[in-house]
């Protein structure tokens, strides 16, 4: 059932600008660092010495949690709006597909789109490093793949919360505003505590136990997703 709902959602997002957003974030972050390194290449080469790839990754990852949380907010709203704008919730939920399958399919769609965006960021960063003349034999493949995926795991609670709110609320102003606030708060969350959930996207990359924070993000994200699924399955959606 979930597979059928997911296949239907893939068709629905065509021509909705969602794929543009998926490509926009990694291209934007890569372009930002292309400008940064292009203007200060000699200085940055001296600063990072023999670890040019590490320096590039550290410059990129500063903006990744913010981009992920904003992306999760906007993607959730756009996915939910496919049904809200067409007024098709009643028709969709009248089909012989459980509400839980409908909700899970949209959650999986959002996760897949963010994973694709994260992997595109990996490709963009590697390509930028090669263009800048970094040694191809020294590409830290593990770290470049971790660059987007571990912060995404840490940011999963925000995605789950935003999808929940956008799915059950026709007016998207409140959930989108909340998502922007959470994304901005996430930039300063380490000053509160590394165990504060909004800090997990950062700690999943540079924390002393990065996999632990990624796991905490996945665990809380799935818990919020389950709560949202239960609420959605019992709520009348217009």
Number of domains in the chain: 1
Q: Is the pLDDT of residue 238 over 60?
A: no
**Range 193-200 average pLDDT:** 91
Q: Which has more pLDDT, 161 or 49?
A: 161
pLDDT bracket for residue 85 (50, 70, 90): confident
Give me the pLDDT at residue 234, please: 85
**Range 210-234 average pLDDT:** 94
Domain that holds residue 40: 2-234
Q: Which has more pLDDT, 219 or 91?
A: 219
Cα–chain-centroid distance for residue 141? Answer: 20
Q: Report whether 155 contacts 217 (CB < 8 A).
A: yes
pLDDT digits 0-9 by tens, 145-191: 888 899 999 999 999 999 999 998 888 899 999 999 999 999 889 88
Q: Which two tokens stand for residue 196?
A: 């504060």
Lowest-confidence region among 74-78, 91-95, 142-146, 196-200: 91-95
Give me the pLDDT at residue 1, please: 65
pLDDT bracket for residue 231 (50, 70, 90): very high
Lowest-confidence region among 119-123, 184-188, 190-194: 190-194
DSSP 198: G
CA atoms lying within 13 Å on the CB side of residue 92: 26
pTM, full prediction: 0.92
CA atoms lying within 13 Å on the CB side of residue 234: 6
Nearest to 237 by CA among 90, 81, 80: 90
DSSP 134: -
């Amino acid at each position: 059932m979930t597979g059928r709902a997911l296949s239907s959602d893939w068709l629905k997002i065509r021509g909705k600008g969602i794929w543009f957003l998926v490509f926009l974030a990694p291209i934007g972050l890569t372009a930002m660092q292309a400008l940064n390194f292009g203007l200060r290449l000699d200085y940055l080469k001296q600063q990072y010495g023999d670890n040019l790839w590490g320096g590039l990754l550290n410059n990129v990852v500063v903006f990744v949690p913010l981009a992920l949380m904003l992306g999760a907010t906007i993607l959730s709203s756009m996915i939910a709006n496919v049904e809200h704008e067409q007024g098709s919730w009643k028709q969709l939920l009248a089909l012989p597909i459980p509400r839980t399958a409908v909700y899970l399919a949209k959650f999986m769609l959002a996760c897949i789109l963010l994973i694709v965006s994260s992997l595109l960021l990996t490709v963009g960063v590697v390509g930028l490093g090669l263009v800048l003349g970094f040694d191809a034999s020294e590409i830290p493949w593990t770290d470049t793949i971790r660059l987007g995926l571990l912060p995404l795991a840490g940011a999963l609670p925000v995605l789950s919360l935003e999808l929940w709110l956008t799915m059950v609320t026709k007016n998207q102003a409140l959930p989108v505003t909340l998502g922007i606030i959470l994304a901005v708060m996430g930039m300063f969350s380490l000053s509160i505590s590394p165990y504060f959930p909004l800090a997990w996207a950062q700690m999943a990359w540079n924390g002393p136990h990065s996999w632990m924070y990624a796991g905490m993000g996945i665990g809380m994200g799935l818990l919020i997703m389950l709560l949202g699924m239960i609420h959605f399955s019992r709520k009348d959606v217009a």
